[in-house]
Structure 1
Amino acid sequence: MKKQKSSFTLIELLVVIAIIAILSAILLPALVAVRAKAYQISCVNNQKQIHYALSSYSSDFNDRMILRSIPLKNSSGTIISEAGGGWWDTILYNQKYFGNTTLSRNGKNNKILLCPSPKSFDRFKTTVGGSYRFTQTAGAYWLASTGNEYPLLTKFKPTCAWMGENDEILGDGGVLEPSCSNPSASFNYASFARHHNGSGNYIFIGGNVGFVPFRRIIQGSDIMWKK
């Protein structure tokens, strides 16, 4: 007699499907967490490169901090365009602080400026500064319109936040509040990105770059802006 070919019964098939579903339910959250952690680490690496570029610029210009934008003046010294001299990211790229790459805001030639998190990358790939924006202190945005001198890097404590992750689409890269120079300024909570498990990565004057829980930004006496 010929042996009958073995085949799955309906019950066996359902058992296999159930096992696959259970394994997926167990493993999927872990995979999501691993991917999120990878995004966070990559974002920190971006910010380290940005900090190096910002610090190198300051070192080359007598400790002056780069402005958010460089104003353009007419022959009499009157500012005719707040950003006519270029935005900060364009200046750093053009002066080769990010190597020989030419800046194009297309998500390809500006990846250093983009957090890889899906919440940030596509949203900010064409904006000035990409995913990152200065604090009120470091951006010194008011100086671009008043013509004052660039702020000195040595004026601020190493623990003062220099740049954070963007959470608003602004054509000029925007500014975060408050600042180390004016710690009593009101918070603009909407500006703080929470792309990494409800929190974000920040660059500090002293060179530290890392993850900052959102609650640390808005609560307690140890608010990082006041250090």
Structure 2
Amino acid sequence: MNKHTRGFTLVELLAVIAIIGVLAAIVLATLGTIREKARLVGCRSNIRQVGLALELYSNDNKGFYPPAQVLNDGDDNGWIWCSTLIRGNYLDRRILLCPGDTVNQAALKYAGTNPPETGRSYSYCARVMSNNTHDKGTPLQKSLVETPSWQYMLTEWHGAAYSWKGHAGELANYTLATNSTANISPSHKNGGRHFVFIDCHVEWRTPDKFGDINSGWRLNNKP
């Protein structure tokens, strides 16, 4: 005796399709979150390596960090702080780009023709690494820093890519906190940024924690 096989009704088919759609949306959202976390981990690793390269340079140069810019030195018209690290084999230039940076660094204004002048995602914090002066050629000596766990060394700041030979590029400063459009790339969804401190530890901070002119943006401001 043949058994009658009951098929799906239209309502049941629509229900199955709806469930599949919901599951697909959940999977895609999860994959997006995983990718974002992976980019954050990669970016944190890169900026930490830049900080460690600066520390190694300092150890080899009587406690001095590279100046923000070097003018008329050797066979060029000068170069910027990260070029000093690359020329000294302290850093691979590819580390200067955050995996999550969506800005076309090479197309930015004043982008030069030679790496790393073609773009970077990280920048010196201006009034700390320039020894609290307006002279970008003045190097900071680590022994002058009273609170190394509080003073900013580096942060994510896509304006740092602006450069030509002898130009320091845009240096990060407290306007990152006071001006929501100041040199901020859409690298991270919530507007947060990684910061490297003089003692080389790395912190993730949201905009409300960036601080103002009286915070770690200036040399020897007190906590």
Specify if TM > 0.5: yes
Deviation sequence 1:156-207 (CA, Å, 0-9, x none) = 221101111014375223112239xxxxxx9555135563322111111011
Tell me the TM-score normalised to structure 1 length. Answer: 0.71
Q: Which amino acid aligns with 1:114?
A: L
Name which of 107, 112, 116 aligns with 2:99.
Answer: 116
Contact 1:200 1:212 in 2 (8 A): yes
After superposition, the CA RMSD in angstroms is: 3.4
Structure with the higher fraction of residues in strand conformation? 1
Instruction: Report the equivalent of 1:215.
Output: 208
Deviation sequence 1:58-90 (CA, Å, 0-9, x none) = 11111111122211169xxxxxxxx82222222
* Runs of at least 5 residues in structure 2 that lack an aligned partner in the other structure: 112-116, 164-168
Contact 2:160 2:171 in 1 (8 A): no
Deviation sequence 1:88-138 (CA, Å, 0-9, x none) = 22221121112xx5x4xxxxxx2x111111xx1452267535110111134
Instruction: Report the equivalent of 1:90.
Output: 83
Distance (whole Å) between structure 2 residues aligned to residue 23 and residue 8 of structure 1? 20
Residue 143 of structure 1 pairs with residue 135 of structure 2: yes
Q: Which amino acid aligns with 1:150?
A: P
Residues 1:176 and 1:36: Cα distance change in structure 2 (over 3 Å): same
Contact 2:126 2:172 in 1 (8 A): yes
Distance (whole Å) between structure 2 residues aligned to residue 168 and residue 216 of structure 1? 20
Residue 161 of structure 1 pairs with residue 152 of structure 2: yes
Distance (whole Å) between structure 2 residues aligned to residue 93 and residue 167 of structure 1? 19
Residue 202 of structure 1 pairs with residue 191 of structure 2: no
Higher relative contact order (CA 8 A, sep 6+): 2
Contact 1:125 1:131 in 2 (8 A): no
Instruction: Report the equivalent of 1:176.
Output: 172
Instruction: Report the equivalent of 1:152.
Output: 141
Q: CA deviation at 1:10?
A: 4.0
Calculate percent identity across the aligned residue pairs. Answer: 28
Residues 1:192 and 1:218: Cα distance change in structure 2 (over 3 Å): farther
Distance (whole Å) between structure 2 residues aligned to residue 224 and residue 194 of structure 1? 23
SS state at 1:62 partner: coil
Tell me the TM-score normalised to structure 2 length. Answer: 0.72
Instruction: Report the equivalent of 2:46.
Output: 46
Task: Count residues in correspondence.
Answer: 198
Instruction: Report the equivalent of 1:131.
Output: 121
Q: Which amino acid aligns with 1:86?
A: W
Contact 1:177 1:188 in 2 (8 A): no
* Runs of at least 5 residues in structure 1 that lack an aligned partner in the other structure: 75-82, 104-109, 180-185
Deviation sequence 1:192-226 (CA, Å, 0-9, x none) = 5563322111111011112111101147x8x4434
Residues 1:94 and 1:167: Cα distance change in structure 2 (over 3 Å): closer
